[in-house]
């Protein structure tokens, strides 16, 4: 699912007067014991790990 989103975004063109735009998305898998907060935190952590 994440790869599909990346591929679609990669094919999208937007004229921003030569500005460089990057997208980072955190993806996680839902676990039975998860709360909304734990899912968001894990996805957020995954996103920030990719930005480093």
Tokens of 42: 């894990």
What are the residue ranges spanned by the domains of the chain? 2-51
| Distance between CA atoms of residues 28 and 33, nearest Å | 14
Kindly state the helix (H) or strand (E) to which residue 47 belongs, with its residue range.
Answer: helix 36-51
| Distance between CA atoms of residues 31 and 7, nearest Å | 26
**What pLDDT score does 35 carry?**
96
pLDDT tens for 8-46 read 878 887 777 777 777 777 788 899 999 999 999 999 998
| Distance between CA atoms of residues 31 and 39, nearest Å | 8
Q: Is 38 in a helix, a strand, or coil?
A: helix
């Amino acid at each position: 699912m994440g790869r599909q989103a990346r591929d679609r975004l990669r094919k999208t063109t937007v004229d921003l007067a030569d500005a460089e735009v990057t997208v980072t998305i955190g993806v996680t898998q839902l676990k039975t014991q998860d709360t909304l907060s734990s899912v968001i935190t894990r996805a957020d952590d995954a996103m920030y790990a990719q930005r480093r």
